Structure 1
Amino acid sequence: MSSVLTWTDAPQPAPGIRSRRLKALQASHHAMWNYVTYRDAIGLLDLDPETLYPGGTTRLPEGWTDLGWLTCFCGPPESAVQAMRDAVSADTLNQYTPDLIEPLRDEAARVLGRPRDATFEVIGTEGAQAGIALSLLASIDPGDEVIVTDPGYFHVPSAVIAAGGRPVPVPAGPADGYRLDPEAVARAVGPRTRALCLVDPSNPYGTVLEPDELAAIAELADRHDVLVIHDVTHGPLAIDADSPFTPLPATGLTDRAVATFSVSHCWGMAGARLGFLAGPRPLMRGCLQLKTALTRLNTNLIAQHGALAALRDAPYVERSERSIRANLAHLQETLAAMPALRLPVAPRHGLSCAVEIEPDSTTAQELMVALFARRVAVYPGDGLGESIASTTIRLNLSQPAAAAMEHLRAVLPEALEEAASGRWQGPVADLLERKGTERALRIARIVRGRA
């Protein structure tokens, strides 16, 4: 039997009581089902979901090249797995857990570049997404505005909407080096602006704000009394070894900033559901009070021991960086022979990159399905912003086996040719029209307009 959470094609609005924030979320492009996903490709290709995901798992089986999910496929570190095995005991399972064990709190602060003291504290969250959500709940009221980037991480606008706020997108495109321009942020600030969600390094581009840009953001925060939520989840993996990585709270430039990251992406531990939120002590206490009011429970103690081992495992990070750099070089060689595809900017941190598609050739959604038919999974840009919705796919560069990028190189020309032929034009447009959101309908018109 299909799960209502995973396989329903066109979910109906929840019956009975619905809050305004739920209605807003369900009407937006950012709720579940409203961007083209693996499950959509599985349906269009008439594949068997039970074969691909036995028992409801989310990992594609052997023989597939998964370049979509953003977890580091070099991970998890063996040190983390062993630490979690060692932590499994009756005592650890038969207790309510601490928010974070003290050594882990200190280690997270080290990653963020600022030791804990009377002005700076770290709390535990269920991934960086929970850190963003708690920060928003603590800083905005219904109707307040939150500046986000376009393109950007697709769960940020949904968190703003769920907190009762209104996301205000600011472009980050080629004119700005695919980074957020502080002057554009200043122009977007209005009387109801209360926060700025800054994903840095960028998802999907892997670009990083320069020190002077961070300083300008800090000055804006102080001048307009805006909280900067600095999501630095991809920062610990350096693709460009000379690229700086500085969470805003570590600079000391403003007290109106928090930083969040997790072990999900860079350490390949998405299943551990463990992240960190750090900032001024009074605000962290408030976020912890909100978390307690909502869920009462703290982060898993066994996962904490695994995260502690992972954050201390410098050799693992170095191995991951080598794999990502090698895969990026391989991809650049592949794209050099394909004029319809290009890398708009080389990533400097993290594990992802964006590939742009020549608009006259095909759309990201059609190419995604054609690649999936050849056992290569990627994500199209429709979840990452309005500006790149139909023209960009995102790739995960962390697969450690060379066969993954070789497989992509082998099938990409054929997949691009099939997508450009119009083979998936009708089915993809129909799918998007069933989704019904403004963005989905706009992309459907683009897809049909190629005829």
Structure 2
Amino acid sequence: MSLNHQNYLSKKAMDLEPSGIRKFFDVAASMEGVISLGVGEPDFITPWNIREVAIEALQDGYTSYTANAGLLELRQEITAYLQRRFHVEYQAENQVIVTVGASQSLDLAFRAILNPGDEVLVIEPAFVSYASLVTMAGGNPVRIATKEENGFKVTPEQIEASITDKTKAILLCSPNNPTGTCLNKDELTAIASVVEKHDLLVVSDEIYAELAYDQEYTSFAAIPGMYERTILINGFSKGFAMTGWRLGFLTAPSEFISVMIKIYQYTTMCAPYMLQLGAIEALRNSSDQVEKMKQNYWRRRNFTVQSLNKIGLECHTPGGAFYVFPSIKKTGLTSEQFAEGLLHQEKVAVVPGNAFGASGEGYIRCSYATSIDQLQEAMNRIERFLLSLEVKESDHLKQAK
């Protein structure tokens, strides 16, 4: 008798939706000549000085475990970096954990604070893993849809209207993935007043903090009264071009950290020793390279937004990260139809907006973390695809007559 394996699997795990980003990336990877504007990954190689330190560390035999929370030297550099860049002060000894990517930081945060049935407000469009991470931790994600006419910015009124007696926390991501929206100090302060009024926590994903273009970045933990209520998530993947290193970190009041470190002990133990040494070098001596990459992204952002608007896809100017989120509603296609058609007809990979929640329907996410030449060619192909849709619509109307 054959075994029905589904009878032995977790229903919660089976019910998780697969990543809409990976779906299109996997298809694109199997095709030749594809320009990928899909996966959110810097096209820059990790700066050499960082790689060199990690290589030397491996050669010198730094291959053992570290403290669960990470090397104290690295945690000290993290706290100095946060103080220097974002004016928030943490204690390296008991308020920092070095994690295997910022995604693990999010997982630790939710598992530490959520009891079954607790609600977390998730601002959408949102990164694909947010709601699933809340669910896996036993909580219930409550989605708040933002709108293009408001720059995809959540309002305090929207947050207040979504709060119930089960609401435990709000998950913020600024600059946002996928929209690139960046909340300024006044907007964060207005949200903070709601947080304090309703005695909530905030999990603040600040992984794109180094890539805020038009204003000085404000960390949510720096807003008056929010330090004690904030679990701050950050890492090295985006700003330092270290995605494959899988190094993130979280900072929070020590009471939260003491619980998270227990979870970490039983799941991961620690981040790799030699990579942590590379991260120390990143924080100490790589600000110039980070700034150069940021300036490149800024130029690409401006080019991509201007190009998309020129060819007829309305696109707001994102304040940070390396994504644009243009509307494709005028085509009459769903986000998935548009993305599939563009991929197969013109070999350009984008992510359908509904991968980031229902409010993302009618949009696509394009990453401009690629060269200007590639972006130019991608824009040409997208324009050609739009023209083909107009021809098909014209032929359809003629046949209808």
Cα deviation, residue 222, structure 1: 2.9
Indicate the residue corresponding to 2:247 in structure 1.
Answer: 274
Q: CA deviation at 1:412?
A: 1.2
Per-residue deviation at 1:66? 2.3
Q: Alpha carbons of 1:407 and 1:21: their partners in 2 closer, same or farther (altered >3 Å)?
A: same
In the alignment, structure 1 residue 351 sits paired with structure 2 residue 322: yes
Q: Deviation at 1:409? A: 2.2
Whether contact under 8 Å (1:133, 1:159) holds in the other structure is yes
Report the Cα offset of residue 175 of structure 1. Answer: 4.6
Distance 1:64 1:78 in 2: 28
Maintained 8 Å contact 1:101/1:304: yes
Matched, 1:17 2:3: no
Does structure 1 residue 68 correspond to structure 2 residue 38? yes
Classify the secondary structure of the residue corresponding to 1:197: strand
Residue 355 of structure 1: SS of its match in structure 2? coil
- Supply the distance in 2 between the matched residues of 1:422 and 1:168 (Cα, whole angstroms): 40
Change (3 A) 1:277 1:141: same
Q: Which among 307, 332, 335 is matched to residue 305 of structure 2?
A: 332
Correspondence for 1:362 among 333, 358, 362:
333
Deviates more, 1:211-220 or 1:163-172: 211-220
Distance in 1 of aligned mates of 2:193 and 2:237: 31
- C-alpha separation in 1, matches of 2:212 and 2:304: 17
Distance (Å, rounded) in 1 between the aligned partners of 2:135 and 2:388: 38
Spell out, residue by residue over 1:6-53, the C-alpha distance to the aligned partner (whole angstroms, 9 max, x if none): xxxxxxx9523334532xxx335xx225677225645xxxxx83xx6x
The structure 1 residue matched to 2:314, chosen from 342, 355, 372, is 342
Question: 1:140-155 maps to which residues of 2 (within 5 A)?
Answer: 140-155=114-129
- 1:10 corresponds in structure 2 to none
Q: Is the 8 Å Cα contact of residues 36 and 365 (structure 1) preserved in structure 2?
A: no
2:168 aligns to what SS in structure 1? strand
CA gap 1:68/1:15 in 2 versus in 1, 3 angstroms: same
| Structure 2 Cα separation of the partners of residues 134 and 147 of structure 1 | 17
CA deviations over 1:329-385 (Å, ceiling 9, x no partner): 22233224322x111x21112211211113444332233223323332221112111
Quick one: distance in 1 between partners of 2:7 and 2:225?
A: 48
Number of corresponding residues: 382
Deviations 1:360-419 (A, max 9, x none): 443322332233233322211121110122x111111222x3211121122112223445
Post-superposition offset of 1:119: 10
Q: Quick one: structure 1 residues 33 and 274, their matched pair in 2 at CA, closer, same or farther if it must change by over 3 Å?
A: closer
> Equivalent residue for 1:180?
154
Question: Which residue pairs with 1:126 in the alignment?
Answer: 100
Check the 8 A contact 1:361/1:420 in 2, yes or no: no
| Aligned CA distance change for structure 1 residues 116 and 375 (closer, same or farther; 3 Å) | same
Q: Contact conserved, 1:370 with 1:416, CA < 8 A, in 2? A: no
Q: Tell me, what secondary structure is at the counterpart of 2:327?
A: strand
Q: How many Å separate the matches in 2 of 1:305 and 1:19?
A: 38
Q: CA deviation at 1:136?
A: 0.8
Distance 1:266 1:14 in 2: 42
- The answer to whether the 8 Å contact 1:207/1:348 transfers is yes
In the other structure, the counterpart of 2:363 is 392
1:210 and 1:368 map into 2 onto residues whose CA distance is 32
Distance 1:342 1:129 in 2: 31
Aligned to 1:3: none
Q: Which residue of 2 aligns with 1:438?
A: none
Give the fraction of aligned pairs with identical amino acids, expressed as a percent.
25
User: Match of 2:200?
Assistant: 226
Structure 2 residues without counterparts, runs of 5 or longer:
394-401
- Map residues 361-380 of structure 1 onto 2, 5 A cutoff: 361-373=332-344, 374-380=346-352
Say if 1:116 and 1:122, in contact at 8 Å, map to a contact too: yes
Which digits, 9 at most, give the CA deviation of each residue in 1:278-308, with x for residues without a partner? 110121121111111233x101112212222
- 8 A contact 2:25–2:38 mirrored in 1: no
CA gap 1:325/1:73 in 2 versus in 1, 3 angstroms: same
| Aligned twin of 2:257 | 284
| Shift in CA distance, 263/40, structure 1 to aligned 2, threshold 3 Å | closer
Hey, which of these two has a bigger chunk of helix by percent?
2
In the superposition, relative to structure 1, how do residues 227 and 120 fare at CA in structure 2: closer, same or farther (>3 Å)?
farther
Amino acid at match of 1:97: T
For 1:328 and 1:261, the matched residues in 2 are separated by: 22
User: Aligned partners of 1:421, 1:142: CA distance in 2, in Å?
Assistant: 53
Alpha-carbon separation, structure 1, partners of 2:219 and 2:102: 14
List runs of 5+ in structure 1 lacking aligned partners.
1-12, 43-47, 53-60, 424-451
Relative to structure 1, the CA distance from residue 266 to residue 372 in structure 2 (aligned partners, 3 Å threshold; closer, same or farther) is farther
Give the direction of change, closer, same or farther, for the CA distance of 1:140–1:321 in structure 2 (3 Å limit): same
- Between the aligned partners of 1:14 and 1:172, the Cα distance in structure 2 is 40
Measured in 2, the distance between the counterparts of 1:278 and 1:177 equals 29
Residue number in structure 2 paired with 1:262: 235
Aligned amino acid, residue 314 of structure 2 = R
The whole-number CA distance in structure 2 between the counterparts of 1:207 and 1:74 is 23
